[in-house]
Amino acid sequence: VMEYRPHEIEQKWKKRWDKASSHHVREDSGKPKYYCLDMFPYPSGSGLHVGHWRNYTISDVWSRYKTLQGYEVLHPMGWDAFGLPAENDAIKKGIHPAVSTARNIENFKRQLESIGAMYDWDREINTSDPSYYKWTQYFFVQIFKRGLAYRKKMPINWCPSCKTGLANEEVVDGKCERCGTEVTKKEMDQWMLKITAYADRLLDDLADLDWPDKVKRMQTAWIGRSEGASILFDVADVPGAQVEVFSTRPDTLYGATYMVLAPEHPLVEQITTDERREAVEAYVREALKKSAVARQIVDKTKTGEFTGAYALHPLTGAKLPIWIADYVLMDYGTGAIMAVPAHDERDFEFAEAFGLPIVHVVSPDGQPPAEPRSVYTGPGTLINSEDLNGLDVEAGKKAVIAKLEQLGHGKATVSYRMRDWVFARQRYWGEPIPIIYCERCGTVPVPEDQLPVTLPDVERYEPTGTGESPLAAIESFVNTTCPSCGGPARRETDTMPQWAGSSWYFLRYPDPNNDEAPFSPEKVNKWLPVDMYIGGVEHAVLHLLYARFFTKVIHDIGLIDFVEPFKQLFNQGMITQNGAKMSKSKGNVVNPDDMIAAHGVDALRMYELFVGPPEDDAEWNTNGLEGVSRFLNRFYRLAAAHANRPVPTRPALEKLRHRFIANLSERMESFRLNTAVSTFMEYINALASEAEAGLDRPTLETLAVTIAPFAPHLGEELWEMLGHQTSVFEARWPSYDAQWLVDDEVEIAVQVNGRVRAHLTVPAKAEAAEAIAAAKQHPEVQEWIGGKSLVKEIYVPGRLVNLVVR
Ligand code: ANZ
Ligand code: ZN
């Protein structure tokens, strides 16, 4: 009996693959293309655990399956290498981020190479490499030139004790991660990208994507498109002052009884009366300290202050008091609302808290409510609305908008929850924003032929204490000459956010070494869109939205001919251990290196799939891995025992083989990779009982080819044992013949007067007469029909015979 020695086999094939450059993707193979992409990792200091491995195994099995189906498969890998942890390490341990990042990449690469994956390492990319970020900067310049990048005063997270700006990740429960001090906001000029200009396209194009519904719903909610009206209210006694509000319920305009401005609203200062000024200013100061989340909590006690000013109702001329309150947010709609307490919960609570009037204008039955101080948010007909009474809500919205348009006091508008993208960080370890400020010429983008703006080597990474990036302290970096007039100028010192490099990396793999352009459009148009994108659901919004936005902009620039980067998306579930997500911080990681040492790569790959449906979370169980390892042993011994002496084909083997292929293919196509593994187990069990009579060549070849995506080393080894000189991945996934799937005999039930009296076996293709005759012959049945007269005989093919007697 031949022993299965996974380590020997795996070493052997790894060497052969490397030597033959087996994973080199060919541009000229003439095969149809398939692009299978992993979300590339951030090379952290802690390495990969078996939970990460699941992701990479799924994508590699899929890539190898597609290869066997005859595609030229692009399955690349790279590093999302800029980011905070490397910079924090630098501050703490004094290790340069470039050094620690390179070290982490080396370890990650070693681990990923041990997966036995078909990555084409010639296409490896690294977002922190100047040859890559040169093009990230290039895209920023293009975006700027298209008017989609601008500067705006925006609050950054600010720790008053560390005197530093903080990334969102460094703010934990509103406190500085480093020192625990309450984080405040500091207003600073920030680069912004106008992603809101693409809101409708980002929303509409979701319809064509083969993505999990959950992710589509999250993106839809994030974009948050609302249709409604913008309505203008004049301010009494303040000439020229107008409050613009956004409302999704213009039909309730006659029910507006007061107005509310966000505390930060620019009109507050202008309209507040002298008597109210002190109270209003104190309230504004308090509100600025609170986070948006705290302000939006629905059932929190409503607070606010009256400004002393009044707005004029555009249709009735009524005077509506103008308040400020923190439940109105400055960065949604217009930062001001008309309050309709009869039909909006938050307005109702506020009106109750401050004794403001409530007027019902929508009623479910056309009558005023029994309790006037109540709130109703459902549908109905308009009341208390002059000539619009009797209209339903939808007709009411249109009628109110028409009236406002006529008066020049409003119009239909759309509002989005999504904001423009804050595209600047006051950090060292990121792409420098390629902008120069000249006193004479203003804001000048760095010309394309002067890119990259290289990140200077620094000795100190500490934040400067002014809220500026550490780059601001490096005179030789900051001081430069203006590219348009040659005069003295200063560089932008902020860097791009973590998300920048990953917003277009999938476009770089088809042409990773191009130094003339970010990529050749021809190559990218050939390989993209990505056919299958595999990664965690935690990227449902930010990364996936930014990547879609960049793709659309790059399309509009004219470099690519598609508008969506990822045709199909698959989110794998997490691996848990003792019920908790596997992570270094929880101390429950299982190291793949140890598992490989014990059972080999192929067994680990198979177990990563077998552990559960790929989209669900699954509990790691090392005993399960041992079970899979024993199975591979059986598989190997059975196949190896017959590989050098196959017997002639016989029907029993053909039937098993075609059924196996049909089952397996169906499970692959529906991405049920865990049950695909069980299909092998069932097949090997069935073959074991045929083994005495020998196995034929088609069976052995089928085993080698189909196991290859899962256990590629084993697949190659078997294929070679069968006398092949070429790689098993040059073979084709086998097909099956449906004729072998029909059962030749079926068991049917025999009923007499509707009650089952016997079972019998008939040929699957039996005619009614044949089945009925056989039923009547059955001794059990004869007992029930003997001496009676048959009035009806029914045959339901393959299921039953029913005899009706009297
Ligand atoms: C009057 C009204 C009457 C409203 C009514 C609702 C119900 P969505 O659907 O989420 O877009 N709103 C507008 N801007 C706001 C802001 N900056 N902060 C807080 N609330 C704001 O919500 C739109 C509704 O939220 C708008 O319609 C407005 O209240 C409020 F029976 O106007 B509504
Ligand atoms: Zn200049």
Residue 178 has a pLDDT of: 75
Q: Which atom of ligand 1 is nearest to the CA of 343?
A: 31
Question: What is the spatial distance between Cα 116 and Cα 602, in angstroms, rounded to a whole number?
Answer: 8
If you take atom 31 of ligand 1, which residue's CA is the nearest one?
343
C-alpha span between 724 and 717 (Å, rounded): 10
Q: Which top CATH class is 589-607+617-740?
A: mainly alpha
Taking only the tens place, the pLDDT of each residue in 48-92 is 888 889 999 999 999 999 999 999 999 999 999 998 878 877 777
Residues 6+ apart with CB under 8 A from 396: 250, 251, 362, 382, 385, 388
Q: If DSSP codes are grouped into helix, strand and coil, which group holds residue 67? A: helix
Q: Which two tokens stand for residue 91?
A: 């501050």
If you take atom 11 of ligand 1, which residue's CA is the nearest one?
226
Asked if 701 and 654 touch (Cβ cutoff 8 Å), the reply is: no
Q: How far is the CA of 222 from the centre of ligand 2 (A)?
A: 40
Atom of ligand 1 nearest to the CA of 226: 11
Q: Which atom of ligand 1 is nearest to the CA of 228?
A: 27
Say which ligand is closest to the CA of 333: 1
Pocket test for ligand 1, best of 220, 226, 230, 249 (most atoms within 8 A of CB): 249
Confidence of residue 220 (pLDDT cuts 50, 70, 90): very high
* For the CA of 419, the nearest ligand: 1
Alpha-carbon torsion (367, 370, 373, 375), positive or negative: negative
* 250 Cα nearest atom in ligand 1: 1
Q: Distance, CA 312 to ligand 1 centroid (Å)?
A: 19
Question: The tokens of 455 are what?
Answer: 């990140």
Closest ligand to residue 410's CA:
1
Task: Choose which residue among 231, 261, 268, 337 to substitute to test ligand 1 binding: the one with the highest number of ligand atoms within 8 A of its C-beta.
Answer: 337
Say how many Å lie between the CA of residue 343 and the centre of ligand 1.
11
Distance from the alpha carbon of residue 390 to the mean position of ligand 1, in angstroms: 23
Q: Tell me the ligand closest to 251's alpha carbon.
A: 1
Q: What is the CATH number of domain 30-140+499-576?
A: 3.40.50.620
Given ligand 1 and candidates 259, 332, 345, 418, which is best to mutate, with the most ligand atoms within 8 Å of its CB? Answer: 332
Closest protein CA for atom 27 of ligand 1: 247
- At 151-178, the pLDDT tens digits run 998 878 888 887 777 767 678 888 887 7
The CATH 1.10.730.10 domain(s) of the chain lie at: 589-607+617-740
Q: What is the pLDDT of residues 400-442, one digit of tens each?
A: 999 999 999 999 999 998 889 989 988 899 999 999 999 999 9
Q: H helices within 513-621, ranges in order? A: 521-527, 542-557, 592-599, 601-610
Query: How many angstroms does the Cα of residue 440 sit away from the middle of ligand 2?
Result: 5
Position in ligand 1 atom list of the atom nearest CA 330: 17
CA 185 to ligand 1 centroid distance, Å:
26
Which residue owns the Cα nearest ligand 1 atom 12?
337
**The predicted structure's pLDDT at residue 292:** 56
Tokens 């340069």 belong to residue: 96
ipTM of the complex: 0.93
pLDDT score for 169: 67
Of the bound ligands, which one is closest to the alpha carbon of residue 485? 2
Q: How many other C-beta atoms lie within 10 A of the C-beta of residue 18?
A: 12
CA distance 715 to 9: 10
Tokens 């601008």, residue located: 150
The best mutation among 233, 247, 297 to test binding of ligand 1, ranked by most ligand atoms within 8 Å of the C-beta, falls on 247
SS3 99: helix
Assigned fold of 742-805: Ubiquitin-like (UB roll) (3.10.20)
Ligand 1: residue of 246, 383, 416 to mutate (most ligand atoms within 8 A of CB) is 246
Please give, one letter per residue, the 3-state secondary structure of 425-448: ECCCCCCECCEEEECCCEEEECCH
Quick one: how many helices (H) and strands (E) in the chain?
A: 24, 32
**Which of 76-85, 99-108, 309-318 has maximum average pLDDT?**
309-318
Give the Å distance between the CA of 480 and the centre of ligand 2.
11
Local structure of 210: helix, strand or coil: strand
pLDDT at position 370 is 95
| pTM assigned to the model | 0.85
Q: How many CA atoms lie within 13 A of 76 on its CB side?
A: 22
CB-based burial label for 542 (10 Å; 0-12, 13-18, 19+): middle
Assign a CATH topology to domain 225-416. Isoleucyl-tRNA Synthetase; domain 2 (3.90.740)
3-state secondary structure 654-717: HHHHHHHHHHHHHHHHCCCHHHHHHHHHHHHHHHHCCHHHCCEHHHHHHHHHHHCCCCHHHHHH
Mean pLDDT of the chain: 93
Distance 273 CA to ligand 1 centre (A): 26
Q: Are strands 532-535 and 569-571 parallel, antiparallel or unpaired?
A: parallel
CA dihedral 236, 239, 245, 250 (to 10 degrees): 60
Find the residues whose C-beta lies inside 6 A of ligand 1. 226, 246-249, 252, 328-329, 332-333, 335, 337-338, 340, 343-344, 415
Residue nearest to atom 26 of ligand 1 (CA): 247
Q: What is the mean pLDDT of residues 465-480?
A: 88
| CA dist., res. 633 & res. 679, Å (int) | 16
> What is the C-alpha to C-alpha distance for residues 561 and 43, in angstroms, rounded to an integer?
32
Strands 319-324 and 258-261 come out as: parallel
Contact (CB, 8 A) for 381 and 366: yes
pLDDT of residue 294: 61
For ligand 2, an ion, list residues with CB under 5 A.
438, 440-441, 482, 484-485, 487
The more confidently predicted of residues 805 and 745 is 805
Q: In angstroms, what is the span from residue 195 Cα to ligand 2's centroid? A: 29
Q: State the Cα–Cα distance between residues 191 and 152, nearest whole angstrom.
A: 7
Q: How far apart are the C-alpha atoms of 60 and 64, rounded to whole Å?
A: 6
If you measure from the C-alpha of residue 487 to the centroid of ligand 2, how many angstroms do you get, rounded to a whole number?
A: 6
Output 330 or 465, whichever has higher pLDDT: 330
How far, in Å, CA of 229 to CA of 592, rounded?
A: 57
CA of 634 to the centre of ligand 1 (A): 66
Residue 296, pLDDT score: 58
Which atom of ligand 1 is least distant from the CA of 331?
17
Whose alpha carbon is nearest atom 22 of ligand 1?
A: 248
Quick one: which atom of ligand 1 is closest to the CA of 333?
Answer: 14
What stretch(es) of the chain map to CATH 3.40.50.620?
30-140+499-576
- Ligand nearest 338 Cα, by number? 1
Residue closest to 306 by CA, chosen among 255, 271, 340: 271
In DSSP terms, 230 is beta-bridged to 246, 411
- Hey, which residues does 794 pair with through a beta bridge? 802
584 is in an annotated binding site: yes
SS3 of residue 374 by DSSP: coil
What burial class does residue 281 get, using C-beta atoms within 10 Å of its C-beta: 0-12 exposed, 13-18 middle, 19+ buried?
Answer: middle
Question: Tens digit of pLDDT for each residue in 338-389?
Answer: 999 999 999 999 999 999 999 999 999 999 999 999 999 999 999 999 999 9
Instruction: Tell me: pLDDT of 295 over 70.
Output: no
